Chains A and B, each alone.
Chain A
Amino acid sequence: MTENQVEESFWREHPVLKEFIRDQIPLITGVFIAGILISYLKYGYLPGADSAFPIAGIRVPIWHLLWMGLWTGYTMGIVGQASGIFLLAYAMSVLQYTNVSLTPTSLIITFLNPFGALLGFWREKQWNFDLAIWLCIGAFFGSPIGPFIRVFLLNDPVTFKCILGITLLIMAIDLCIQVTPWYLNKTTRQRSFKEKFDNLMKKCRKAGKAPSGLPADFRIVTLERSWRRLTIGYWGEEQTLNIPLMVFIGFIVGVISSAIGAGGGFLLVPILVSLFGLPMYVLVAASIPYVITLSITGLFSYTVTLPMLTGVSAPSDWSFGLFVASGAILGAWMASKTQKFIPEKYLKPMLGVVTGVVGLLYIINYFWKLPFNV
């Protein structure tokens, strides 16, 4: 065997390693270096354990930020979401990052978080413009409104924590419902789709391709399109979606998520599953562009529109956000690779209980001051 053939067969045997080196390392390193550069350019020094992040106003070692991104990105990734909600709770309650700039900073992270996955979808050409565009249009008009709510109605940390508590509770209920027989029966179509998918993945692995991507013949095709209805087809299944309803969902989720600083997956995914019964592999084609659109329009509103219209500014801490995002990209990628080995039956209720308890504490603390810090 020549040297080239040996190298080729090595990569064929280790497709995940190949994907990590080709896609993830450049992305993670790039975001991390951008964090260091921005620190020096904007603040003139590298914030961390000794000197506080100027906008966040807290001292925290950089390794802790990478770790926070990694663990929130991983645990949320396992249940199919971006790191936003866990990150907000941890940053507020443990790091004591409680000022308004936390929300736009979190939007930087939810914006960068899905890029690892995005590279994969782009390579596999798994896109359906018609499916994503209506939700994105909703987000485009909805998310610029959120910052005004955050700055004028939710600027008190206790009130903000109460709203975050409600979202944590919604997520906890959703996680617990997902393992009930009722939900599993409802999503039979998803299960049959998953079996079909798993079979193909086995073949994929044998051929030496990374098993997390979608098969070459997988396409989400538009079968029919008008101003009112959209019919999509994927792998022999068909689904009709109501377009005004999609725009409305995108809008409402956009307003709420950009006010909180989350990507919107925590609301969008359960809504789309319960209304349309779409499988996760199809949903991500809509939710990934949605989260990116929501984050960028929300961020723009915090940085430009809000100060321009009201004179009140809520700048984001870019270096804090970029350091966390580089960890979150790695965490989300690790989740996508290991998800199929994790027994969801135990993990989802466990995460659900943890999330629910934190959410409840935040809500209770709003009405009756708790004797300890939350």
Chain B
Amino acid sequence: MLEINKLCCNLGERTILQDVSLSLKPGEFLAVLGANGVGKSTLLNCLLGSADITQGTLLWQGCPLERMSRSERARTLALVPQQQEVAFSFSAEQMVLMGRTPHLGAFQSPSQTDLHHARRTLNELGAGHLARCQFNQLSGGERQLVLLARAMLQSESVLLLDEPTNHLDFRNRYHILNTVKQRCREHGTSVIAILHDPNLASMYADQVLMLAQAHTLAYGPSADVMTSQNISQLYGLPTCSHRVMDQEIFMPQSLPPSSATNIAIVTGPSGSGKTTTLMALYAHCQQQKQPVRGILCPGTMRDGRRFSSEIINLADGQRRPFGQRTDELDPITNTRFRFDPHGLALGQQALSPTSHHPDTTWIMDEVGPMELEGQGYGSTLAPLLALPGGKHIWVVRPDLVERVVQRWQLQPAAVIDAADSDALTQLKEFVAL
């Protein structure tokens, strides 16, 4: 039985591990989960003796690991390292044979019997045909098999796997872990594996240790520890779980959106009545008690061009001054408009997706060059599109329609020219759908 009691490890000033405890019975599989750089590898290094422990004890069958000699320790704990290029090319069977090193005297070389054992271990893993191949020329999956065979030849007691599924394809990932699991059952080997995929951990591990910022976030039987709540906290990523074939599958809550189809684009040249049409639509919706949110920016025209504009929060009808034409080109926004900070804040508030009703129509007037560059209200658009069940109407200048469609991966249900006589009818139909 392997026991770790209150292990602490500091590297200089930095605390890498703090009060980590665990115990592992023969044949148990422990998965270590955690974000990058939280000390998972350090935990293995402490066991291997290549990192100095500050406090705590490491026990194997009740005997402190520090009191064991290097080769004794190596006969107990075998590491399957992360994939490595070897500077000189050895054959696969030579690589496996090196697992016998701690069983040899300092001046001894492996015997024919050792070679025989090495070949048999390779055969057991179904990799006997690789024996004569050069290790550096093997594929990622084959290399991992060879390194696993080496560790198995080295020790039957404890296997330490450092991210064993890195670089492996879909099939090899399961093949390697199946092999390890089988080894646990047949030989009573204990396994500590650093894994990056919580799903693999819940499939294979009996126990799970979650490390977050040096301390233990959760430790215990896999079934108790593997919850979407723990995983969300562990990786700082909102996670949900689904049950598939008696197996809890974890996935992030937000996945990149597929193309949005629930959107209509209102377009037309300056002064063609885009905002006016939408104001009419807004009035219609309020009449019909259909929920509408978002912003509209009606402008005043002077000398045939937009002179100033107002912003309306459609949620409550609140109005504020928004933009004012000036003669200078604003270097930040690259327009001749000066924006009112109160107006901007109102828009930000209007476009934040709080208390969203599934039938809500979101109107965005308008998606312009600034939004395309991620300024203005650009950052609020993707979260709005991701809302379940909403409808969207965006105002876009004709020359920008193509870029907007590409930027937000849209498949618009309709592109409506505001100058069309039936523009309002089309919009009403879209909202009513």
Partners in one complex: no
